[in-house]
Amino acid sequence: MLSFPAHLVAEYLPRLSSRASGDVALDPFCGTGTTLVEAKRLGFSAYGVEALPVPVLAARVKTDWDLSPDALEGVANEVLERVEEDRESAGLPGALPLFHQGKSSVPNWTPPQQILDLIPRGMISPLPLRRVLILRDHIESVRDPGVRSALQIALAAALVEDIGNVAFGPEVYTTRAKEDVLVCDVVRRKVRRMVQDLRSVAGAIHPRTTVLQGDSRDLALMPEKSGDIVITSPPYPNEKDYTRTTSATARSPTFCPRPRATSSRRRVTTTSSTSACWPLVRKWSRGRRDWRPPCAHRA
């Protein structure tokens, strides 16, 4: 979702760092957190600002390296077990048919109107949707907020990559309908990868990462020492509407936002010329005069 090349950050950060001073990295348009993850990996504290709630959640999950892999694995197994029980009682198949059996339908079930209003037509087929909603409800009842967020992001990623009838190129578009998808299997695989990643960093002390949700033009949002190095991939100069391009996940049944919330977010996101961001970046970099607009800058 909206990622940009991690290797760029890995290359620029050490080059721009003075190292001695405990530099803090800042990405004022952090999206799903590529800069923040690389900064953390390389030992830098970092701040990120992002206007939209779903990328914010993704960035927070991706930089929460203190989450216990055992807790995530244990809760995920319990949740998926309960979903299997509900799946059986709802009369949904436990395996995909070997041969295509015509249009999928769900016994005695019509999607709630709220969901139909939310999802663009054809974005997800009825059977996978029913499975997703069962799983979503169980995830919502998970008590531990860190585990709950991680499971929500696993489901969101599975929705756009495996479950929904969508692809990116460069905007989101609808693909051939998948009649059915074993949602639990797909999500289990995503969680397994998350658990592996968490195990690979467990036990170490990690630099602090803070992800703020808001309009990065609002400088009052930022704490005093929020950045020595700015690395960002600002909104594209082509009137890209981020509330639309992230809609595959933001408007997915995992999150269920209200339509009014989307339009107010649209006012916050910068959709016009990238050059509008440069004065802002200059301000963050405490007014340095020799500043030029590359993609990375040492304040």
The residues of the shown chain that bind ligand SAM, judged by CB under 6 A, are 2-4, 29, 31-32, 34, 49-52, 55, 215-217, 233, 235, 242, 268-270
CB of 214 to ligand SAM, least distance (A): 7
Closest-CA residue to 281 (of 236, 220, 231): 231
Spatial separation of the C-alpha atoms in residues 69 and 191, rounded to whole Å: 10
CB of 212 to ligand SAM, least distance (A): 9
- In the chain, which residue ranges form alpha helices assigned H by DSSP? 6-16, 34-41, 53-62, 69-89, 113-118, 126-140, 145-158, 183-201, 242-245, 247-250, 259-268, 278-284
Mapped onto helix, strand or coil, the DSSP state of residue 276 is helix
Closest CB to ligand SAM among residues 188, 266? 266
Closest CB to ligand SAM among residues 133, 194? 194
Supply the DSSP symbol for 232.
-
CB of 231 to ligand SAM, least distance (A): 9
Q: Nearest 5 degrees, angle CA 65-CA 76-CA 258?
A: 85
Closest CB to ligand SAM among residues 100, 283? 283
Both tokens of residue 203? 């036990």
CB of 97 to ligand SAM, least distance (A): 37
Closest CB to ligand SAM among residues 101, 272? 272
| Chain position whose Cβ is nearest to ligand SAM | 31
CB of 156 to ligand SAM, least distance (A): 14
CB of 87 to ligand SAM, least distance (A): 33
Spatial separation of the C-alpha atoms in residues 238 and 234, rounded to whole Å: 11
Both tokens of residue 213? 């949700």
Spatial separation of the C-alpha atoms in residues 117 and 115, rounded to whole Å: 5
Closest CB to ligand SAM among residues 115, 280? 280
What are the CA-CA distances from residue 114 to residues 117, 118, 175, 235, 251 (Å)? 5, 6, 23, 31, 11
Closest CB to ligand SAM among residues 18, 263? 263
